[in-house]
Amino acid sequence: MLSLVICMKNFIRLICLFCFSFSIANAQDKEEVSLTETKWVLSNLNNKVINNNEEGISSFMILSDDDSFTGFAGCNKFQGSYKNNRGKFTFSNIGATKMLCENNNNEDEFLKALSKVINYNIIDNQLMLMDKTKTIAVFEAEKAK
């Protein structure tokens, strides 16, 4: 009888250890992504799927901790500043280089959309930028290589 009790205790310990290990691994997989210092790759703009440009390069942006941002819009690089204050999120002082490209990969639409943003949300490694009524741009957090 005593050996059965010891066996059951060891079995319960083993099950608890397995559950604990699984929960830690699962929590690490679902680690929250930070708004800043993350490379956000544009995947959807005004309900249209966005693909890489002709050279295979994605449009992206990176928001820095100092309230500035930089990025690539498909042809040109861009930069500016942002404010995240009292539930309102806005971009300002948006500027871009002026390279001439055959296909600008929705670049003008992308930069105009940034000026309309008033809020954001991050869910499942996606950054959603919203205007007053809807989501206007969706970005995916790029995984470290």
Q: Hey, where are the domains in the chain?
A: 1-31, 39-141
Global pTM reads 0.75
Q: Which two tokens stand for residue 35?
A: 């708004």
State whether CATH 2.40.128.270 applies to domain 39-141. yes
φ and ψ at residue 138, rounded to 5 degrees: -125, 135
φ and ψ at residue 32, rounded to 5 degrees: -70, 145
- 3-class DSSP state of 142: coil
Q: What is the pLDDT of residues 12-57, one digit of tens each?
A: 554 544 444 444 444 444 568 999 999 999 999 999 998 887 778 8
Q: What is the pLDDT of residues 46-74, one digit of tens each?
A: 999 988 877 788 999 999 999 999 999 98
